[in-house]
């Protein structure tokens, strides 16, 4: 009976505060992660100066190069200098390629983004449909069939999916190229031919994960009393799902999507390798093998930042979708 008289505060204050808190937490996490990345990359065996000069270098040459690269400075000093560089958009110079890390990454990042975006465009609607339909048909034949399908998709290792796809489409049927090389000015046909197999291989695992989590989120809602009430109001199944259930399930669903999509960045390594696709994940693996610390650290930061960004977006959507949080 109170409330009507309560002072009118702008309605956007409460959600804004919550979202600001989430952003703060994300930035703090990123800072902690940067420390961990820096500390761990220092633990990797081998020395960049040693690696650069090869076996025949004298101790004096190595020491000189170490000094030149700033490797003889104490850890905290190097960390602060490195973090400052990252913030300014200059994560240093690649030791191996002798080029600015930012330049190397700017060549690879669009490729990874493009592959991730294409895969999302395929995977999100597909996962959504599978999740919704198997939730509605819970326990019935359609649900069981979709369950078997998604479970086997989760269980299949992606190198197997990718290899089988290559064997089938490239070797046997000769429909698609086995290497995802996109020419400079691709036609739509060339573009699709290049991306089909990588996208399929990545989508298989992502769709399965997302579909299972979406199904679980919707089923959890379907058991709640307001769904029975809606049925007793004569609400038809389509409206029930879209108008009644989804607004309540959207929080868990977007979180499930964020987790799956973040995999498209760091987890694409196998697909990138099999299709010789020049993305970030393979760049990072190369950086590990060649002890290219500045490049490795920058890649790791990008993956973490992407992950945090996706989770942040998911949290924001969840906050805005929930009137209890939205209205504070």
Partner 1 sequence: MTTPSHVDVRDLSVTVRRPDGTLLRIVDSVSFSIPRGEVLALIGESGSGKTTIALSLMGYARGGAVISGQIRVGNASLDGVGPASLAAQRGNRITYVAQSAAAAFNPSRRIIDQVIEPALIHRTAAAPAARERAIGLFRALALPTPETIGERYPHELSGGQLQRLMAAMALITKPDVVIFDEPTTALDVTTQVEVLQAFRRVFREEGATGVYVSHDLAVVAQMADHILVLNGGKVREQNSAATLIAEPQDDYTRMLMSAAQPVVQAITPPAPKAATPLLEIDGIFAGYGPIDREGRPANPVLSAVSLSIGKGAALGVIGESGSGKSTVARVVAGLLTPTAGTVSLDGEVLAPTLAERTREQLRRVQIVFQNADVALNPAHSVGEILARPLRFYHGKTGADARRRVNELLDLTRLPSSVIDRRCGELSGGQKQRVNLARALAAEPDIILCDEVTSALDTVVRGAILDLLGDLRRDLGLAYLFISHDIATVKALCDEIVVFYKGTRVEHGTSDAYAAPPYHPYTELLITSVPELRPGWLADYPYQPVAPVANVTQSSDICRFLQRCPRSRQGLCDIAAPPLRTLENGSRILCHLDTSELAH
Minimum distance from CB of 252 to partner 1 (Å)? 13
Q: SS3 for 38-71, per residue? A: HHHHHHCCCCHHHHHHCCCCCHHHHHHHHHHHCC
Minimum distance from CB of 285 to partner 1 (Å)? 44
Minimum distance from CB of 27 to partner 1 (Å)? 24
Q: Which residues bind to partner 1, rule: CB under 8 A? A: 1, 3-4, 224-226, 228-236, 239, 243-244, 247-248, 321-324, 327
The tokens for 66 are 């170490």
Minimum distance from CB of 192 to partner 1 (Å)? 40
The answer to whether the CB of 328 falls within 8 A of the CB of 46 is no
- CB-nearer residue toward partner 1: 83 or 240: 240
The answer to whether the CB of 128 falls within 8 A of the CB of 214 is yes
The answer to whether the CB of 76 falls within 8 A of the CB of 42 is no
- CB-nearer residue toward partner 1: 74 or 234: 234
- CB-nearer residue toward partner 1: 9 or 231: 231
Minimum distance from CB of 228 to partner 1 (Å)? 8
- CB-nearer residue toward partner 1: 64 or 246: 246
- Max Cα distance, the chain (Å): 84
- CB-nearer residue toward partner 1: 161 or 218: 218
Ramachandran class of 259: left when φ > 0, alpha when ψ lies in -120 to 50, beta otherwise: alpha
The answer to whether the CB of 95 falls within 8 A of the CB of 291 is yes
- Give CA–CA dist 320/313, Å, rounded: 11
- CB-nearer residue toward partner 1: 264 or 318: 318
Minimum distance from CB of 149 to partner 1 (Å)? 25
């Amino acid at each position: 009976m109170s409330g009507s008289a309560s002072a009118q505060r702008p309605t956007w204050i409460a959600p804004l505060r919550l979202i600001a808190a989430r952003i703060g937490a994300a930035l703090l996490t990123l800072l902690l992660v940067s420390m961990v990345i820096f500390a761990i990359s220092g633990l990797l065996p081998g020395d960049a100066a040693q690696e650069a000069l090869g076996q025949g270098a004298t101790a004096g040459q190595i020491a000189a190069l170490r000094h030149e690269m700033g490797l003889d400075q104490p850890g905290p000093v190097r960390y602060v200098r490195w973090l400052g560089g990252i913030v300014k958009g200059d994560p240093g110079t690649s030791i191996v390629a002798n080029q600015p890390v930012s330049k190397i990454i700017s060549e690879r990042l669009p490729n990874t983004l493009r592959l991730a975006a294409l895969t999302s465009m395929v995977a999100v609607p597909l996962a959504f449909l599978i999740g919704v339909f198997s939730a509605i048909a819970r326990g019935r034949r359609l649900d069981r069939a979709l369950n078997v399908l998604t479970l086997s998709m989760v269980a299949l290792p992606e190198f197997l999916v990718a290899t089988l796809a290559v064997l089938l489409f490239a070797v046997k049927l000769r429909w698609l190229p086995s290497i995802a090389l996109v020419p400079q000015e691709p036609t739509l046909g060339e573009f699709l031919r290049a991306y089909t197999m990588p996208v399929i291989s990545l989508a298989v695992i992502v769709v399965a994960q997302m579909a299972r989590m979406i199904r679980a989120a919707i089923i959890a809602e379907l058991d709640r009393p307001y769904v029975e009430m809606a049925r007793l109001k004569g609400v038809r199944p389509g409206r029930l799902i879209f108008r009644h259930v989804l607004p309540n399930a959207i929080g868990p669903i977007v979180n499930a999507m964020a987790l799956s999509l973040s995999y498209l960045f760091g987890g694409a390594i196998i697909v990138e390798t099999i299709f010789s696709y020049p993305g970030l994940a393979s760049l990072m693996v190369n950086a590990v093998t060649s002890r290219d610390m500045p490049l490795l650290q920058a890649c790791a930061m990008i993956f973490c930042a992407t992950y945090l960004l996706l989770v942040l977006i998911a949290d924001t959507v969840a906050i805005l979708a929930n009137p209890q949080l939205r209205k504070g």
